[in-house]
Copies of this chain bind each other. A is one copy, B any other.
Amino acid sequence: MKLLEERIRKDGIVIGNDILKVDSFLNHQMDIALFEEMGKEWKRLYNDVEINKILTIEASGIGIACIAAREFGVPVVFAKKSKTKNIAGDVYTSKVMSFTHGREYDIMVSKKFLGPEDKVLIIDDFLANGEALRGLIKLVRDAGATVAGCGIAIEKAFQPGGDNVRATGVRVESLARVASMDENKGIVFTD
């Protein structure tokens, strides 16, 4: 998606050759007009696919998922990262290794909100090692629901997560795929 690639080139900050900061428009400050165009693009890509729910993960997936949900006309469920008093009852859980936080954590979704009738589009902001995405796919499958596909904003295509998930037969549509990046040479996107 050209619009997102251009925005990443303009406002993304590369540190070393593997950290890409997009906090001015994607995951701390959020450009809602950009999110609307991203939602339309995912809808165009998945126009032929039956989807009745979007699943994302707190926190930075929630904004793009909610704006995209307007295009699909479906509710959003977000997986939580820690158990609070307010998430009572039965939950589906997955373990996820976070390279950002340097630790393993649990993600969970209440069993009330995922079931065999659900055809789920999974949305997240980043795909790199694929840990969070695999955890979300496991939640969907544990619920007996169907993974209709995944919609990712930025895929670090030089890391193995995206290809590993695609190799399992799951459709993954990333709006910007970074082939390589370097704080001096800039960002190269895949064709």
Q: Is A112 an interface residue when CB atoms closer than 8 A count as contact?
A: yes
Q: Is A17 an interface residue when CB atoms closer than 8 A count as contact?
A: no
> Which residues of A68-87 have CB atoms within 8 Å of chain B's CB atoms?
69-70, 73-78, 80, 84-87
> Which residues of A161-190 have CB atoms within 8 Å of chain B's CB atoms?
none
Count this chain's copies in the assembly.
Answer: 2
Q: Is A5 an interface residue when CB atoms closer than 8 A count as contact?
A: no
Give CA–CA (A36, B28) in the complex, Å: 22
Residues in B neighbouring A149, C-beta threshold 8 A: none
Q: Is A50 an interface residue when CB atoms closer than 8 A count as contact?
A: no
Which one of A41-49, A56-64, A136-144, A151-159 contacts B? A56-64
Residues in B neighbouring A62, C-beta threshold 8 A: 58-59, 62-63, 66
Q: Is A23 an interface residue when CB atoms closer than 8 A count as contact?
A: yes
Give CA–CA (A30, B85) in the complex, Å: 19
Residues in B neighbouring A110, C-beta threshold 8 A: 23, 28-29
B35 touching A66, Cβ below 8 Å: yes
B28 touching A77, Cβ below 8 Å: yes
Residues in B neighbouring A88, C-beta threshold 8 A: 21
Chain B residue with minimal CB distance to A62? Answer: B62
Beyond A28-B109, A30-B78, 8 additional pairs, beta carbon < 8 A: A19-B86, A28-B77, A28-B87, A29-B113, A58-B62, A59-B62, A63-B65, A67-B67
